[in-house]
Structure 1
Amino acid sequence: MGEYLYIMTDRNQEKRVGFVVSRGKRLAIVTLAGLIWIQPVLSLGPLSAPTDSAYAASSPVVKLGEEIITSGAKLAHYQYAVTRSGSTVKVLADVIQVDLTNPYVKLDVMTGKGGQVTTRQSVQGMAKETGAVAGVNADFFNVNGQGVPMGASISEGTMITSPSELQGMYAFAVSKSGTPTIDEYTFDGSIRAQDGTTFPLAGINKEAYRTEPDKGYSHVNALYIYTSAWKSTDRPKDSSTTPTEVLVQNNVVQQISPGAAIPGEVPEGAYILRAHGTAAAYITSHLAVGQKVDANYQLRSVTTGNTLDPNAQAMMVGGHTLLVSNGKAAAFTRSTSSISGSSPVARTAVGYSKDGHTAYIITAQKNENSSGMKLSELQGFMTSIGVWKGLDLDGGGSTTMVNRPLAETEVGLTFGTSNGGTTQRLVASGLGVYSEAPQGTLKGLKVSGASSLLIGQEASYKLKGYDTYYNPVDASGIQASWKSSNGSLVWTGQSFKAAKPGIAEITAVSGSAKTSMKVNVLGGADLNGLTASTQSLPLVAGTSADISVTAQLKNGSSVKVPAEALKWEFIGFSGSVKEGTLTVQSIKPGAQGGYAIARYDGFSTVIILSQAGQQTWENFENVSYPIAFTGLPVEAKGKAQVVQGTGDHASSKVLQLDYDLTGGTGNKYAYAQLNGTTGKSVPENPTSMSIDVLGDSSLNWARAEFEVGGKSVYVDLARQVDWTGWKTLNIDLTTSGLGSSAKLKRVYVVNLADGQDERALTGSVAFDNIQFSVPDLGGSANMKSATVVMTVGQKTISADGKKITVDVAPIVKGDVTYVPIRYVLDYFGGQANWEGASQRITVLRGGTMMDLTLGSKDIIINGKRKQVAVSPILINNRTLVPLRLVSEQLGIAVKWEQKTKSITLQS
C-alpha cells in the first residue's frame, strides 16, 4: 500500500556501511549411475495435503492444502469465512510457516535492487536476485517518494534503514539465536568527535518526512548517516534543508563539504554524515579532515524501554499497526484509515507462535477468486491459525507472495495480485525465506510442466527431483516413458498436445516406478473473455490483417490461443484465416457490414467489418470550444488547457490536465471538461475509441464520461496509470451503448478513497489524437428505425402502425418479460442464427454480437462473458429473451405499460 507517512521508532546500533547480500541458488547434480537405487521413490511426488479436518465444519478456517517449500518451511492454503452485510463471504489466504528452530532455513529482509534502498523491485525480482525460496512484500513506503522503507530494516546484523519518528508503527525481528520479537522501536544513536564531544543521530538512510507528533521536518537541525545501501545521489530529495556532508571511511574523516552535498553515491565501505542547521554547525566546529569520528546506535523499545542491539539481529522488517497480542486481536496502535483498514483489500502480515518456534508469513488474496480482508477479519484469521503476536505489513496493490514449487529452481507467483493477474508492484522491501541446507541425496521426483492448456497447445514435461532437504536436484539423466490417461492430451513422441477439454493424467514410468500429474485442458466454460488483436476492419475485398486472439481465463490470467484451436465464421463476406492472417476475399451482394467470428470451444469473439473506418475526432490543433477544469470534492484543484506537447508529441498540441487532490476526503476527481456542461458529439454507433495518453505513473484511474439521452456513460481508459511517456490506449465501446446521439463530456482521473494512500494525489496527464472506429452498419438493412408494439399473451404485433400476426407471443414468467428475439430483429435490423447442437442463438445487430444459450444465465457479448438474472427460453421453436437484454444490449428503447401489459420498442 505505502502510507504517506513514516514510522515513529527508536534509535539504532553502531555504524555500518551498505551491503549487497549474494545468496546463490543451491542445485544438486545427481548422475544417472547414482539414480539406480533411488528409482523406487519416484512415486513420492509433491507433498500436498488435502483439506485439514481439524478446521472443518464449526471453524471459519478451512485448510485447502499444504506443500513443502524447503526443509523448515511450508506453504498452506486456506479459505476463511467472514460475514459481511449478513452474508457469508469466503476469502482465500496463504501462509508460509517457517520453523525458527530448524538450522536449514532462515528469514531475511529483501531490499530493492542489489540490496539498496531507493531502488524498488518486485517481490519476485528480489527473491530471484537474492536466492530466496519464498517471500512477500514487507514494509510500507511512500509511493510518491524515493522508495525507502518507513521502518527499520536489518539484514544479518547490518542496519539498512532506521525506524522513522512516527507513532504506533511496529516491527518484526528474529535474533541470531532464532528468537522472534514484535515491538515498537525508536532510534538512539550519536557520533563522537575526536575532541570527545557528541551529537545525536536522527537516523540511517531515511528520506524526508514529517515527524510525529510535532509534524516537524525530519532533516531540519538533524544529523543522519547514509551508507552505500542508499543508492540515490539525493540524500534525500525534497528535505527543505541545505546539507553539510562528511565522508567517513575507516572511522576517519576523508572530506567535509559545508553547505553542499558531496557529489555521487556513497562509496562502498564508507558512509556520509548528512547535517543541517545545528548539526551542520557542530560538524564545522568539531570535525576536521584526518580526524577520527565514531558512530554508535541502537534501538530502544517504546513499550519496555529496553535496548536492542542491531548486531544481534538476524533480520528485521518494519510494519504498521499491531494486529495480534497474546493470541487475541489487539487494539490498533495507529489509525488504520490511511491503509483502508475497514475495507476488504489484499493484505500482508507476519507473526509468530506462542512458543516462538514458528513464524507465520500471511497474505490475503484480492483477485477474481477472493475479495480481500478488512483488518479486523485479518486479525480473526491470524488468531485462528495460531498466531500469538502479529503485525500488519504493506497491503493492497503491494501484496505479493512468491514461492518455489517443490523440485523447481525458480520462484513464481503464489496467486494473482490485486493489480491484475501477474502484474506486480515495485516495492521498497520484502521478507524472504532462504534455505541454508547442504546438498542432500535424492528423495523424490515429480512431473513438472503446465497444469492447464488450451486446445491446440503443445507442452513438454520433465521429471524433476528434490533432495532430503526438499531442495531441487538435477534429474535430467533419468529416462522415462510417457502416456496420457485419456484423449484430452495426446502424446506426440516429444510432447503432449491438448486435443479436447477435460482433465487428463500424465504419467511418467521409469523401470518399475512411476509418477504423474493432472493437466486440465481448458474449454469455453473456463474462459471469461476472448479478445482479437484487431476489433474492426474495413469491408473491402483484399483487406488483410494479422490477427491474434487472447483468452482471458477465469483465474485472471491471459494466454494466446493457438490458431488451430479457433473456428472462424464469416458473415457478409467470404474470407479466410491462414497462418494468423485474416483476408477478405469478396463482399456478398448488398452487404453493408460484415462479421468475422472466432470461436474457441464455442466461446466467441467478433471483428466488425464496415465500409467506414476510424475517424479522427479531436487532435487539439484548432479547438473552438471551451475546455475547463472541474474537480471533486470542492477542495480539488487543477488546470485543464491545450498546450504544446512533449516527447513524441512535441510537434503537436495536446490537452494537459494538472491536478492537486490533496484537499478534502473521500473519492477524488480531476476533470477536463469539454464544451462546458454540454460536451461534444461523437460519431454515431462507435465500436472503439483510441486515445494517446501521457502517463504520470500515479496509479490513478483514467476515465471518460459520455452522455447518451441525458444519462452518463462511463468508460475506462486505464484502471491504473502506471506508465510515464505517451501511450496509445484502445478502448472497446461495443458494450457501452453509445448509440447515435452520444457526447463526450470530459476525460478525467480518479483517486478512490479505498486504497488512496497507494496513489499519487498530485500529478499531470495529457491527452491527444482521440479517434473513433465507426462501422457503417446502420443502413436500412441493418439498423432500422421503427416503432413496434407487442402485448403479453397476444400473437398480433403492431409495426409502425401495421398489424402483423406472429406464431409466438411475449410472455411473463415470474417477474421477467420475454419477447421473441427474431421478430425484434426483423423490424429493427440484425439477424439471429440458431445452432441446435449447442442450443445457442447468436444475435448480430450493428456493432454487437451476443451469444445466448438455452438454460444458461451466461451470455457472451463481443467476446466478454456476462451473467444475467435469467436465461432465454424456447417456445414453439422460437427463442424468447428477457426484455431487459433487448434494451441494455441492443440499444432499443423499451416502454412497458402495466395496465395493458403492452411493450413499445423504439429505435
Structure 2
Amino acid sequence: MNLKLRNICYSLILALSIVFTSVSTTFAESSPIFSEIIAPGLIRKEYKVDQGDKKTIINVLECDLDNPFLKIAVIPGKGKYNQRATVSQMASRVDSTAMVNGDFFNMLLQGTPEGPSIVDGNLQSSPCVMEGVYSLGIDESNTGHIEAIKFQGKVTAPNGKTYPIDGLNKSYYWHEPSTEYSHENKIQIYNDFWAASTRGDKKNTEILINSNGVIEQISENKSFPFPVPDSKMIMQVDGVAKDFILQNSKIGDKLNIDYSISPDRNWKFLIGGHALLVNNGQKVPYTKDINVLGGVRARTAAGLSKDGKKLYIASAEARTKRSAGMSLDNLSNFMKSIGCDIAVNLDGGGSTTMVVKNLGESNQSKIINPERNGAERAVVNGIGIFNTVKETGPAVGIKINGPDDMIIGQSADFTIKSAWDENYKPVDPNTMTYDLFDSNEDEAAWNITNFLARHTGEVDITLVTNNGVRSTKKVNVHDFDFVESLIVSSDKTKINSEDTVNFTVKAKLKNKKEVLLDPSVLKYQIDGFDGEFNNGVLKVNSLNDNASAKVTISAGDKSSSIRLNDINSKVIKMKINNKSYSINGENKNMDAAPFIKDNRTFVPIRFIVSALDGEVSWNNEARIATIKYDDKIIEIPINNKTIKVNGKEKAIDSPAVVKSNRTFVPIRFVAENLGMEIEYNNSLREVTIIDINKTKENIEEDNKEKPTNNENNKDVVSLVE
C-alpha cells in the first residue's frame, strides 16, 4: 500500500472526529467526591473536576500492585484479536471486578491493538514501529512500568541465512518516522490468536508453518482462505522478504522463528498506550499528532506512583449532561494531581467506558458512560481487574437500598442493597434477616421495611442484621415546597349514590420523579355531590341532582382536581392535535383533530354532535352549520361572531372556521349553549365534555316511573280506607 492510500485512511478517521477548542486548567491536589474499596487492594474514586464553566466526572481505579489477591490482565475482545467486544461484554465474559478499554486500534481495519500485549503470559501483539508511544506493564516483582517497548525477531532458514521479522499480529500501518509500509518487503507473523480469515495485506504471499516450525503450505501473492489453525502460524511476506523465503526454503523445511520484546522484565501484564502525559512528576506536553486525539473528549489514562507500586486507571466521561470531557492538557494536569509520577494516554473518545462491581454487588455497573450516552463501541482489548479470593464468609458490611430524598407523606421500602465479607466478596442479601428503625424513634412510621415520612428534616435510617452488622443511611425529608405538581386519579369517574371512590395521589417532584403520597397528609374537598372522605376513600351519600362534581385534593399549597360524573351522563374526551377520542371510555377515531387558535379550543362539530345523538346540517350557499339537539337549534355561520340559539342572536368571541373541509367550532361556547359542562386539562391537553342533559332526562324518567313518598303514603291510606 502506498503513501497516498495511507493518507486516505487517516482522512477517513479524521472525518469521524470532532475537534474542540479547550482551555487548560491547573489542578491542585484533587480530592474525590466518592471513595470506596471494591476489592483487596482496589479503591474506586470519583472526582468532579471544575474546568471553568464546565464540570467533568472522572473515575479512578487505584490499584495496590503488591496486594496478592489483586490481578490485572489484558482482556481481548471476545477471546482473540479481530473479535471486538464492548467493555461491558468483556467484563461480563470474564467476570471482572472492574474493566476499562485499553489500547488504540484502527477502526477501519481488522481489529488489533497498535501496541504490544501480553495475554495469559504470552506475547500476542508487537508494538507498531512508532516514535513517542509508550506501554503500561507489570513485571514479576509486581512493579509497574510505563516505557517504550521495542520488538525484534528473525527467521533463520535451513542454510543459516536470516531475515528480520517486522511484527506479530499487526494490521497494516506506516512506520515512524520513515513512513515505510509495514507489509512491504517485510515479514509479518500471525499466530492462532489472530482470529480473522484475512491478515495484513491480502496480496502478499503467505507461508503456513506448523508448531515445529516446518513449512506446510505456500500461497503465492494471496492469503490463505482460512484463519490461522490452532498451534500453527502464518508468515506473510512481500518483495525482498518473499524472495528470501522462496530462495532459501521450501515446503517441508524447518524454519527457526525467534522474536522478543525489550526491555524484557518478565512481564506479567503489558498493554500498549500512546504518548506520555506525566513524567518524573511533571506534566509532559503532548507532541504527537492530535488531529484525531485533540479537543475536549472522553479520556482513558493510566499512571504509576514513583515506586511503581500503585497503579491509577482513570476514565473521564464526555458530552453527557453531567460531564463535559477533558483536553489532553487537562488530562495531564489531572493525572499529576492524583499522585502519578508517570502517566500515559490510552484509547479514548468513543472507546472510553468503565464498568465496576460496586462494593458487595455481583453484577457490573457502568460508571463512565460512552460519549453522548451512546452505544458502547466494540474495542480490541481492555484492562481487567480481578478479586482472586475464592472463599466468602459472613457479611461484615452492608449498604441500604432506599431513597436519599423523600417528602412528607411519601413511603418507601428500605432493604439491604448489597453485602460483603472481609475480602470484599459479595454476600447474598436474601440469606440475611434484619431490623430497621429511624432516628425519630417513630414506630408508627414503619410497616416492616416500609417507612412513611412523617416529619421534615434529616432522618437516619438504620439497618441491623441478625449477626449484628449495622449500617445507617441519611434521608432528607422535604416539605411540599419540593413538589412541582400533584397527579390525581381515581378507580372510577362515573358513579351512583352510595358508591365509594378510591383516590390515588402522586406528587411530581422538582427533580421530575413521581412519588405516591399517603392520604394522611392530604386534604380533600368535594363540590357538587354530597360525600365524606376517610383515608383517601370517598363515600358518596347523594348526587344532589347534579350531573357531576369536582374533587380537589391538596398537599400544602399544591392542589389538583378530578371530575366525577353521574353514571347516566355521557362523557366525551378528546385531545388537542389527536384524532382519537372516547365516549364513556370507548375509544373511537375521527378524521380531523381538535386544535387551539387564539387561546380557544376548536373541535370538529359533526363528530361531537353525532356522539351526543344530535343532528348537524350544512347550508353550503349560506355557509351556515345548524345543530339540532333536544329542544335547541343553534345556527353557526362561518367566520361570523354572531350565532343564533333558538332564533335569538348571541355574540361569540371566536367564530367557527372551516379547516380541511371540516367545520370547527369553539367548543366551550357551543357546549354551554347546549347545556353541557366542559373542562380542559392543560397538562394533558385534554377536553372533556359532559352531557348533563342525559342525566336530567333519566332523573325525570325515574320521577315519572317512581311515585314520590307522599304519593306512596296516599295509596296506602286509600287502600286501608
Shorter-normalised TM range? 0.5 to 0.7
Deviation at 1:502, TM superposition (A): 10
Change (3 A) 1:103 1:514: closer
Q: Which amino acid aligns with 1:232?
A: A
2:457–2:476 contact (8 Å) kept in structure 1 = yes
Aligned to 1:813: none
TM-score, length-scaled by structure 2: 0.61
Query: Using a 3 Å threshold, how does the CA distance of structure 1 residues 189 and 521 change in structure 2: closer, same or farther?
Result: farther
**1:481 aligns to 2:435 (yes or no):** yes
Deviation at 1:349, TM superposition (A): 0.5
Shift in CA distance, 401/501, structure 1 to aligned 2, threshold 3 Å:
farther
Q: Which residue of 1 aligns with 2:37?
A: 68
1:611-650 matched pairs, under 5 angstroms: none
Report how far residue 451 of structure 1 moved. Answer: 5.8
2:221 pairs with one of 243, 259, 264: 259
Check the 8 A contact 2:398/2:470 in 1, yes or no.
Answer: no
Look up the equivalent residue of 1:268 and give its one-letter code: D
Shift of 1:447: 3.3
Contact 1:347/1:372, CA 8 A, preserved across alignment? yes
User: Helix, strand or coil for the counterpart of 2:129?
Assistant: coil
Aligned position for 2:270:
316
Could you tell me how far apart the structure 2 residues matched to 1:336 and 1:499 are? 58
Structure 2 Cα separation of the partners of residues 106 and 208 of structure 1? 32
* SS of residue paired to 2:210: strand
Structure 1 CA distance for aligned equivalents of residues 185 and 482 of structure 2: 61
1:275 paired residue number: 237
Is residue 510 from structure 1 mapped to residue 472 from structure 2 by the alignment? no
| One-letter amino acid of the structure 2 residue matched with residue 313 of structure 1 | W
For structure 2, the residue ranges without an aligned partner over 5 or more in a row are 1-7, 12-25, 485-507, 519-550, 552-561, 564-569, 582-587, 604-640, 642-652, 655-664, 669-679, 688-721
8 A contact 2:191–2:233 mirrored in 1: yes
CA contact (8 A) 1:173 1:317 kept: yes
Q: Are 1:243 and 1:261, in contact at CA under 8 Å, matched by a contact in 2?
A: yes
Distance 1:500-1:181 versus aligned 2 partners, 3 A rule: same
**What are the residue-to-residue correspondences of 1:75-474 with 2, within 5 Å?**
75-82=44-51, 87=52, 89-114=54-79, 116-236=80-200, 239=201, 241-299=203-261, 307-309=262-264, 312-340=266-294, 343-366=295-318, 367-420=320-373, 423-439=375-391, 441-442=393-394, 444-447=396-399, 449=401, 461-462=415-416, 464-474=418-428
- Which structure 2 residues correspond to residues 594-743 of structure 1 after superposition, within 5 A? none
Q: Secondary structure at the match of 2:383?
A: strand
CA contact (8 A) 1:480 1:510 kept: yes
Q: Secondary structure at the match of 2:268?
A: strand
1:317/1:499 CA distance change after superposition, 3 Å:
farther
1:109-144 CA deviation, whole Å, 9 max, x = no partner? 121012x11121111221222232112111112222
Aligned equivalent of 1:543: none
In structure 2, what is the Cα distance between the partners aligned to 1:188 and 1:404? 39
Q: Secondary structure at the match of 2:371?
A: coil
1:195 deviates by: 2.8
The amino acid of 1:309's aligned partner reads D
Shift of 1:845: 11
Q: Secondary structure at the match of 2:241?
A: helix
Over residues 512-552 of structure 1, what are the superposed CA-to-partner deviations in whole Å (9 max), with x where a residue is unaligned? 55334467999999999xxxxxxxxxxxxxxxxxxxxxx99
CA contact (8 A) 2:401 2:417 kept: no
- How many Å apart are 1:233 and its aligned residue? 0.9
Write the distance in 2 (CA, Å) between the matches of 1:593 and 1:426: 42
Q: Who is 2:706 aligned against?
A: none
In the TM superposition, what whole-angstrom CA distance separates every residue of 1:707-744 from its partner, at most 9, and x where no partner exists?
A: xxxxxxxxxxxxxxxxxxxxxxxxxxxxxxxxxxxxxx
The residue type equivalent to 2:376 in the other structure is Q
1:780–1:324 CA distance, 2 compared to 1 (3 A): closer
The structural deviation recorded for 1:248 is 2.2
| 3-state SS, counterpart of residue 128 of structure 1 | helix
Number of aligned pairs?
Answer: 522
Aligned residue identity for 1:322: L
More helix by share: 2
Letter in 1 for 2:307: D
- Whole-Å Cα distance in 1 between the matches of residues 391 and 369 of structure 2? 32
Amino acid at match of 1:325: N
Matched, 1:586 2:572: yes
Pair 1:129–1:407, CA change in 2 (3 A):
same
Change (3 A) 1:351 1:516: same
1:471, 1:594 → 2: CA distance?
55
Deviation at 1:392, TM superposition (A): 0.7
CA distance in 2 between counterparts of 1:204 and 1:392 reads: 23
CA spacing shift, 1:409–1:518, aligned 2, 3 Å? farther
The percentage of aligned residue pairs carrying the same residue is: 28
Aligned counterparts, 1:732-881, within 5 A: 777=596, 781-782=600-601
Q: What are the superposed Cα offsets for residues 618-665 of structure 1, whole Å, 9 maximum, x if unpaired?
A: xxxxxxxxxxxxxxxxxxxxxxxxxxxxxxxxxxxxxxxxxxxxxxxx
Partner of 1:894: none
Letter of the aligned partner of 2:572 in structure 1?
A: S
User: Structure 1 CA distance, aligned partners of 2:94 and 2:277?
Assistant: 29
Deviation at 1:220, TM superposition (A): 2.1
Q: Deviation of residue 779 (structure 1)?
A: 9.3
Partner Cα distance (1:502, 1:347) in 2: 40
Q: Deviations over 1:831-877 (max 9, x none)?
A: 99xxxxxxxxx99699999xxxxxxxxxxxxxxxxxxxxxxxxxxxx
SS of 2:90 mapped into structure 1: helix
Q: What residue identity is the alignment partner of 2:94? A: T
**Structure 1 residues 783 and 428: CA distance shift in structure 2, 3 A:** farther
Q: CA deviation at 1:495?
A: 7.6
What letter matches 1:510 in structure 2? T
**Does structure 1 retain, via aligned residues, the 8 Å contact 2:121–2:268?**
yes
State the SS of the aligned residue for 1:280.
helix
| Contact kept? 1:612, 1:776, Cα under 8 Å | no
Q: 1:92 to 1:288 in 2, by over 3 A?
A: same
For the 8 Å contact 1:4–1:141, the answer to whether it is kept is no
Q: 1:749 aligns to what?
A: none
Higher strand share: 1
Q: Judging changes above 3 Å, is the alpha-carbon distance between structure 1 residues 415 and 452 closer, same or farther for their aligned structure 2 residues?
A: farther
- State the AA in 2 paired with 1:66: S
CA contact (8 A) 1:831 1:843 kept: no
Q: For the residues of structure 1 that align with 2:480 and 2:180, how far apart are their CA atoms?
A: 59
CA displacement at 1:71 relative to structure 2:
0.9
Q: CA deviation at 1:479?
A: 2.3
CA RMSD of aligned residues (A): 5.1
Structure 2 Cα separation of the partners of residues 175 and 502 of structure 1: 54
* Residue aligning to 2:15: none
Distance 1:398 1:552 in 2: 36
Query: CA distance change for structure 1 residues 89 and 263 in 2, over 3 Å: closer, same or farther?
Result: closer
Cα separation, 2, equivalents of 1:409 and 1:482: 24
Deviations 1:327-373 (A, max 9, x none): 00113241223212xx2222110010111111111122222222111
**1:217/1:493 CA distance change after superposition, 3 Å:** same
Offset at residue 161 of structure 1 (A): 1.4
Distance 1:596 1:503 in 2: 47
1:453 touches 1:498 (CA, 8 Å); kept in 2?
no
CA distance in 2, matches of 1:781, 1:360: 63
